[in-house]
């Protein structure tokens, strides 16, 4: 039997990012992000409401109610972006990100791009584009490498992150309460008991 070729490091980390995206609680688009340095995962994040707040799967989508198109008026949203949650986890746990790479299922918006620059990241690898030219301009000016992920990941492998899966996004079996980690993917969190920190 022939062994499958090993994935490149970018493909490997993008596949992990797709798994992180499945934790998203956004009704419009499930996004995952991980920050990696020296082939080690430093933090993870997915998009969703802040820690302790009700998820959009329960509250409904504010952006849908207001008719706000994707890529506009980011401040009018209950959730944080996956990149923001990954960066915030580093701050929360005292992890420096200088020189690291961010892997994300979707290219960063302008706000996330500015945060990535100031956090000292040097490379961003993404799968799907996002309609924000300012983000691309800022990253280029700051000499942060922006790389479209390898095409070796079949489209059907990551199509689930665009829309919520059959099970309501962000819910744990038997629980309809907010998670304690606020989209951070925080290790050691007990998600079976809402509001309880690990």
Compute the distance between CA of residue 31 and CA of residue 119 in angstroms, rounded to an integer: 20
Q: Taking a C-beta distance cutoff of 8 angstroms, is the pair 35, 100 a contact?
A: yes
Residue 83 is among the residues annotated as catalytic for this protein: yes
Q: With beta carbons less than 8 A apart as the criterion, state whether 82 and 107 touch.
A: no
Q: What is the bridge-based pairing of β-strands 32-37 and 101-106?
A: antiparallel
- Distance (Å, whole) CA 164 – CA 55: 13
Catalytic residue among 54, 64, 83, 151: 83
The answer to whether 24 touches 49, Cβ cutoff 8 Å, is: no
Structural contact between residues 45 and 59, judged by C-beta atoms closer than 8 angstroms: no
Longest CA–CA span in the chain (Å) reads: 55
Radius of gyration of the chain (CA): 16
Interatomic CA distance for residues 90 and 83, integer angstroms: 11
What is the token pair recorded at 98?
């200088």
∠ CA 13-16-22 to the nearest 5 degrees? 145
Kindly list the catalytic residues. 83
């Amino acid at each position: 039997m022939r062994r499958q070729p090993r994935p490149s490091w970018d493909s490997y980390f993008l596949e992990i990012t797709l798994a992180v995206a499945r934790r998203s609680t956004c009704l419009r688009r499930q996004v995952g992000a991980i920050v990696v340095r020296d082939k080690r995962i430093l933090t993870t994040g997915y998009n969703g409401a802040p820690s302790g707040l009700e998820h959009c799967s329960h509250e409904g989508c504010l952006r849908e109610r207001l008719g706000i198109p994707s890529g506009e008026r980011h401040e009018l949203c209950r959730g944080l972006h996956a990149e923001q949650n990954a960066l915030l986890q580093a701050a929360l746990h005292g992890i420096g990100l200088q020189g690291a790479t961010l892997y994300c299922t979707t290219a960063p918006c302008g706000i996330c791009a500015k945060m990535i620059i100031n956090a000292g990241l040097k490379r961003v690898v993404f799968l799907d584009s996002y309609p924000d030219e300012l983000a691309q301009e800022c990253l280029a000016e700051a000499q942060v490498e922006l790389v479209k992920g390898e095409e070796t990941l079949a489209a059907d492998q990551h199509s689930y992150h665009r829309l919520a899966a059959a099970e309501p996004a962000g819910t744990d079996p038997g629980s309809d309460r907010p998670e304690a980690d606020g989209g951070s993917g925080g290790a050691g969190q007990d998600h079976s008991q809402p509001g309880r920190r690990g």
